[in-house]
Amino acid sequence: MGYNDYFLIVKDFIEYGRVIGVVPDELLDEVPLTIEEAKKYVKEHNFKIGQGTGVGRGSGAGSLVVYLLGITGLDPLKYNLLFERFLNVERVSMPDLDCDFSPNVRNKVILYVKNKYGNDAVAGIITKSYLKPKSSVKDAARYYGELVGSPGAYYALADEICKKITDNFWAFDSEIDDNKTTLIESLKSDFSANENAIKILDIAYNIEGMLRQYGQHAAGIIIYDDNDITNYTSTTIVSNKRVVETDKIESEENGLLKMDFLGLNNLSIMTDAIRMISERYGEDIDIEKDFPVEGTDRFGHSAEEVYENIYAKGRTKNVFQFESAGMRKYLKELS
């Protein structure tokens, strides 16, 4: 499958992220852009506390090789993780290796990758935003107001129309014109006495589904195997950053290698917390060593106690991926 190079690239930049994760944010710009020099910098400054990088996750967590390389932190054999999520006969794409970094560490790791593989070999991924039902109505109202010489006069009317649109997604289906027409006619019936509303709906009908703006994928980064990615694909500038002009699905279909560099604020919060604990109480905490997933932590609390008093009671509003009301509800039911 050609995973070997992919794994080693991910292992490398995660290692750099872990090295610099103990460096205060305000000093990250000073850190050298090689692992060995970064280690020397950290040692010289005696930085020890920080959680700038999480353990890798995603379907790759089902691979023993990924675990042995140190990308993920749980033994898939011991915990019976599903290998088939990682690799099966129907999956022929690169596996998911989601790499979490605190936002500032993430930015530095991307600079490290650019320095290592070439600035012109690394780019973000474009995103495309299309006009959905409610946004098309609001844009139509703004345009109509300017058209008749009353800018801003129809925003309240647009909000009133939007309240009638219960589907926040593709209520106007660009590919199934009957659905789109049915919804528009229904709205026109509701606002039949308001000529301005009818005009706005006519405009909205024509612009719904159109491309509105470009953005940059929050996590995806393309790393090319030559110094100039434009030898293979076109790029453009979005918010002063270079991105490939294909979205994440198109990029992978075209053979480009997408890496996930996720900025996770929870890691910044954890780092701030353990640094404050060190300053106030003199306790230097290593999250991964001092709080194991099994047995007893450094402070005498067992994993069972943590489950019973936090997870089983749904007290996870600040726990990554367990913060939603739905997840907290299911945790209570599971107990």
At 316 the pLDDT is 93
Q: List the structure tokens of 27.
A: 């000093």
At 55 the pLDDT is 84
Instruction: Tell me which fold the domain 3-56+97-124+215-266 belongs to.
Output: glyoxalase-related enzyme like fold (3.30.1900)
**Bridge partner list, 244:** 125, 235
Report in angstroms the alpha-carbon separations of 299 from 54, 284, 294.
22, 12, 14
Q: Quick check: 220 and 238 in contact, CB under 8 A?
A: no
CA distance 222 to 168: 31
Report in angstroms the alpha-carbon separations of 287 from 106, 116, 299.
19, 29, 12
Q: List the structure tokens of 72.
A: 């993920």
What predicted TM-score, i.e. pTM, was given to this entire model? Answer: 0.82
Residue 75 falls in which region: left (phi positive, over 0), alpha (psi -120 to 50) or beta: beta
At 37 the pLDDT is 97
Low pLDDT (below 70) residues in the chain: 167-182
For the four alpha carbons of 139, 140, 146 and 152, in that order, the dihedral sign comes to negative
Alpha helices (H) along 90-154: 103-117, 133-147
Q: Quick check: 144 and 201 in contact, CB under 8 A?
A: no
User: Could you tell me the residue ranges of all domains in the chain?
Assistant: 3-56+97-124+215-266, 132-209, 291-335
At 156 the pLDDT is 93
